[in-house]
Homo-oligomer: A and B are copies of this chain.
Amino acid sequence: MSEKIFVKGNEAVAMAAIEAGVRCYFGYPITPQSDIPEYLSRELPKTGGTFIQVESEIGAINMVLGASAAGVRAMTSSSGPGISLKQEGISYMAGSELPGVIVDIMRQGPGLGGIDASQADYFQATRGGGHGGYRIIVLAPDSVQEMYDLTMLAFDLSDIYRMPAMVLADSVIGQMKESIVANSRPETPLPVKDWAVRGRAEGADQNVVKSLKLGDGEMEAFHWAMHARYQELADKESRWEEYQTADAEMIVTAFGSTARIARTAIEGARAEGMKVGLLRPITLFPFPKQAYTALSARCKRFLDIELSTGQMIDDVRLSVARDTDVAFYGRPPGAGSLPTPEELLEQIRKIY
């Protein structure tokens, strides 16, 4: 499996899902992610899996809930408006401690918006767009290879921590084609799903999957348990990439496509003799706070770049040492709004 193949980011997601053993895909078309259902409508049935183009995103997320409750790996994918519609279902999954993968290829909003690249759904993804104060795992690939690898990781983390996991990319990463190695799923040990509904087969006790928690103190205890699980995630699963940070006097931070663009800008800055490094969070939830804390212990200038008017900036500010200055450069989504490396270099020059 080490021959390289040249595929779209979205296709890499679909291929990785199959490699991860997804049994059910439920989704509804929406640009710029429709390649995912299109690929899976073709390939998933060949593996004996189920593909349903559902009547709506709401139906889709609830089928994921059902299939996941039944103990199989299930997923859905969407963008902007469709992800908004799934919020109730995601909240139920979180409340029912169900795994399940949701792929969000962000497009511009609010409303119908348009299909250009956006990172303005960071809050929605990381703060729980649904009700109840839950969180989900959020992974942010910046290349087609990572689309593949992180999709597999999303399934594993989701199963291990029993919570929904999201692959969050923008349309640049979703639509881009690159050569990747279609790695096999790593042999991560996974917990047995003894909580799944199976029709009490093999004489098992009744299993119930639910989010209703009415007992005295039951829900409160659940919240603290979730909180502890989030802390465990933060400790064990925070992932990030550092580039040229060792001697950096200024840190640029960005995720997804913006990080790609920033990296080229940093090459330019280095060429001009500026000691600039990149801190790219790979997990957005858990946010790799430790990396920010560590770097900001010695480097006091940060520049956060986002395709929005500023969302991750909150997490950055909450993570760095108190005396760090965090500047922001935003290019909210829209036709022609993607920043160029030249433009980011200009911003670096201003702040350096």
A286 to chain B, nearest CB (A): 14
State whether A213 and B334 are in contact (beta carbons under 8 Å apart), knowing that A91-B111, A96-B111, A219-B116 are contacts in the complex. yes
A45 on interface, CB distance cutoff 8 Å: no
Residues on B with beta carbons closer than 8 Å to the beta carbon of A84: 87-88, 91, 129-131
A10 to chain B, nearest CB (A): 18
A177 on interface, CB distance cutoff 8 Å: no
Stretch among A143-151, A293-301, A317-325 lining the B interface = A317-325
Size category, A interface: 35 or more
Stretch among A14-22, A46-54, A117-125, A269-277 lining the B interface = A117-125
The copy count of this chain in the complex is 2
0 or 1 for each of A82-104: is its CB under 8 Å from B? (1 = yes): 01110110011111100000000
Stretch among A183-191, A195-203, A307-315 lining the B interface = A307-315
In the complex, residue of chain B having the shortest beta-carbon distance to the beta carbon of A92: B111
Jot down 23 A-B pairs with beta carbons below 8 A, ordered by A: A79-B131, A81-B131, A85-B88, A91-B109, A91-B110, A91-B111, A92-B111, A95-B110, A108-B213, A109-B131, A109-B132, A110-B211, A111-B212, A113-B213, A121-B132, A133-B309, A216-B335, A217-B337, A219-B333, A220-B333, A223-B309, A224-B309, A226-B309
User: Interface residues, chain A, CB within 8 Å of chain B?
Assistant: 58, 79-81, 83-85, 87-88, 91-96, 106, 108-114, 116, 118, 120-124, 127-134, 210-224, 226-227, 308-309, 311, 314, 317-318, 322-323, 331-337
